[in-house]
Amino acid sequence: MGKFSAAKIFDAVDQKFQKAYNYLIDLLETGYVVESRINDKAIKVTMTAAKPYEMSIDGKKQIYISSSGVLVPNIYDINEDGRVDQEDCDLLFNYILHGKPESEYLPRMDVNGDGRIDSSDLNLVYRATGTFGYYPDHLKYGDHTAGIDNVGFYTSNDSGETRTYLVTW
Ligand SMILES: [Ca+2]
Ligand SMILES: [Ca+2]
């Protein structure tokens, strides 16, 4: 049986702490990126000095820290203030109705990523506020649809895919 040596134990512990410390310093300096596929979606989490936290799904930022240092909880937080509420709905509603305000948040307004900013996006944000219900956006009669989007009033014979504008904003 070896002789008990407190010095040896302290050395071993010290080396482990040193390794952990070096690992953390490396992590802080080089950052940390994890990429994975979950349910066929590309999930990426980045933690670097430039992006202290950012999670994206299929290349679109979902949860992240904004340039003003606010934790943006999800894609429905249009104005990046950390809350999904009526203000986000109002921004979207005003843009759909009046084409304004054209702000820095414009790229965030197409929340469902279909290339249009319209009532589908507004309804998603509205529901994300926890409020029950919908913003009425269009009327449907058989194959005929009449509605509004960020371009104007439209009619459509194919449920809104092809839109003929009667009035534009
Ligand atoms: Ca918000
Ligand atoms: Ca959309």
Query: pLDDT tens digits, residue range 11-48?
Result: 888 899 999 988 888 877 788 899 999 999 999 999 88
Residue 12 CA: distances (Å) to CA of 23, 26, 107:
17, 21, 54
Q: Are residues 118 and 168 in the same domain?
A: no
Number of domains in the chain: 3
| Residue 9 Cα to chain centre, angstroms | 49
Percent of the chain clearing pLDDT 90 (strictly above): 29
Q: Which ligand is nearest to the CA of 128?
A: 1
Q: How far is the CA of 124 from the centre of ligand 2 (A)?
A: 9
Compute the mean pLDDT over every residue in the chain, rounded to the nearest whole number.
Answer: 85
Please indicate, yes or no, if residue 88 is contained in any of the structural domains. yes
Count CB-CB contacts under 10 A for residue 111.
Answer: 22
- The strands making up 54-57's β-sheet, listed across from edge to edge, are 32-38, 41-47, 54-57, 60-65, 71-72
Can you give the pLDDT at residue 45? Answer: 94
Q: Distance from the CA of 34 to the center of ligand 2, in angstroms?
A: 28
Question: pTM to 2 decimals?
Answer: 0.62
Contact partners, residue 49, CB within 8 Å, separation at least 6 = 28, 31
Q: Give the pLDDT confidence score for residue 166 in this predicted structure.
A: 81
162 within some domain: yes
Which pLDDT belongs to residue 1?
A: 53
**Considering the domain boundaries, does residue 47 fall inside one?**
yes
**Local structure of 153: helix, strand or coil:** strand
Q: What are phi and psi of 144, to 5 degrees?
A: -90, 135
Q: What is the pLDDT of residue 57?
A: 92
pLDDT tens by residue, 147-169: 877 787 888 888 778 999 887 87
* Distance between CA atoms of residues 28 and 66, nearest Å: 19
Question: Is 70 domain-assigned?
Answer: no
What is the span of the domain harbouring residue 79?
75-136
Cα of 19 vs centre of ligand 1, distance in Å, is 42
Neighbours of ion ligand 2 (CB under 5 A): 110, 112, 114, 116, 121
User: Alpha-carbon distance 137 to 153, whole Å?
Assistant: 10
In CATH, what number is assigned to the domain containing residue 127?
Answer: 1.10.1330.10
CA of 164 to the centre of ligand 1 (A): 33
Task: Give the position of tokens 């506020």.
Answer: 129
Same domain membership, residue 104 and residue 52: no
Cβ atoms of 61 and 54 closer than 8 Å: yes
